[in-house]
Amino acid sequence: MAVASRRNPAAPAGSDPPPPVDREEQLLVRAAWLSYVGGLTQDQIAKRLGLNRIRVNRMLAQARDQGIVQVRINSKIASCVALEEQLRTRYGLDEAIVVPSPPELALVPQTVAVAAGRALSERLRDGMSIGVGWGQTLRYSMKSIAVRPVAGLSVVSLLGGLTGGSVLNAYESASRLAELFSARCYYIAAPIFADTEGTRDLFMAQPILREAFEHARTVDLAFLSVGNLARNTTNFHLGVIGEEDLVSLKRAGAVGDLCAHWIDQHGALVDHPLNRRVIALAPAALRDIGTVVLASGGADKVPVLQGALRLGVVDVLITDERAAEGILRE
pLDDT for res 170: 61
Number of Cβ atoms within 10 Å of the Cβ of 17: 9
pLDDT for res 162: 66
The tens-digit pLDDT sequence of the chain (330 residues) is 333 333 344 444 455 555 555 678 878 888 888 898 888 999 999 998 889 999 999 999 888 888 887 766 666 677 888 999 999 999 999 999 999 999 888 899 999 999 999 999 999 999 999 999 988 899 999 989 988 999 999 999 999 886 554 445 567 788 899 999 999 999 898 888 899 999 999 999 999 999 999 999 999 999 999 999 887 776 676 677 788 988 999 999 999 999 999 999 999 999 999 999 999 999 999 999 999 999 999 999 999 999 999 999 999 999 999 999 999 997
pLDDT for res 25: 80
pLDDT for res 71: 65
pLDDT for res 3: 31
98-105 long-range contacts, Cβ below 8 Å, gap at least 24? 98/319, 98/320, 98/321, 98/324, 99/297, 99/318, 99/319, 99/320, 99/321, 100/76, 100/320, 100/321, 101/297, 101/320, 101/321, 101/322, 101/323, 102/320, 105/298, 105/299, 105/300
Domains within the chain, CATH numbers bracketed = 23-65 (1.10.10.10), 78-329 (3.40.50.1360)
Number of Cβ atoms within 10 Å of the Cβ of 29: 15
Diameter of the chain measured on Cα atoms: 117
CA–CA separation, 93 and 313 (whole Å): 9
pLDDT for res 126: 96
CA–CA separation, 63 and 46 (whole Å): 15
Distances (CA, A) of 39 to 27, 217, 296: 16, 54, 41
- The full DSSP string for 34-93 is HHHTS---HHHHHHHHT--HHHHHHHHHHHHHTTSS-----STTHHHHHHHHHHHHHHT-
pLDDT for res 325: 97
CA 152 to chain centre: 27
Task: Please tell me whether residue 310 adopts helix, strand or coil conformation.
Answer: helix
